[in-house]
Amino acid sequence: MKNFQEPKSERAFTLLEVMIAIAIFFTCMFAILGVVSNSLRNARALQKTDVNVGMAAAQFVMTNKLYEGSQSGDFGDIYPDSRWDAEVTEVSSNGLFRVDFTAETRVGKSVSESRLSILLFRPESPPGSMSGGMKR
């Protein structure tokens, strides 16, 4: 019997094969990261809510007296780039007031605006223009 030894062939990846595999891997990873980043940006855009002018109206609903004239304010930390204006007008001599609200939100150079008008009956309010009083 012959002692025949076959030459050992070492199997390994060549440098070129490794570089191609790494290039394919990173191309796929950057594509996946791009999709995830775009999805997160779209999700954040959906979470941005328009300013709720009803929050400003709630402050007026809780008061016992209204005074004719203009008032303004902001929404604090809830809507940091937003502000509201209110115009209070007496519409009847029995203490019925109309309050017209306007809320503005600035996002970059664009401004979104929302409006709301409510009627409030506040008989304890000082006389307004309809009941012979002076406008403040």
Q: pLDDT tens digit string along 32-86?
A: 999 999 999 888 877 766 778 888 888 888 888 888 999 999 888 888 888 999 9
Region 10-34: mean pLDDT is 92
Residues 32 and 89 in one domain: no
Q: Considering its fold, how many domains does the chain have in total?
A: 2
pLDDT, position 131: 66
pLDDT, position 30: 95
Residues 91 and 112 in one domain: yes
What is the distance between the alpha carbons of residues 91 and 128, in angstroms, rounded to a whole number? 9
Tokens 């029995």 belong to which residue? Answer: 94
How many C-beta neighbours within 10 Å does residue 101 have? Answer: 20
pLDDT, position 70: 93
Region 15-26: mean pLDDT is 95
Residues 23 and 60 in one domain: no
Q: Which domain holds residue 36?
A: 13-47
Q: Is the pTM of this model over 0.75?
A: no
Residues 58 and 117 in one domain: yes
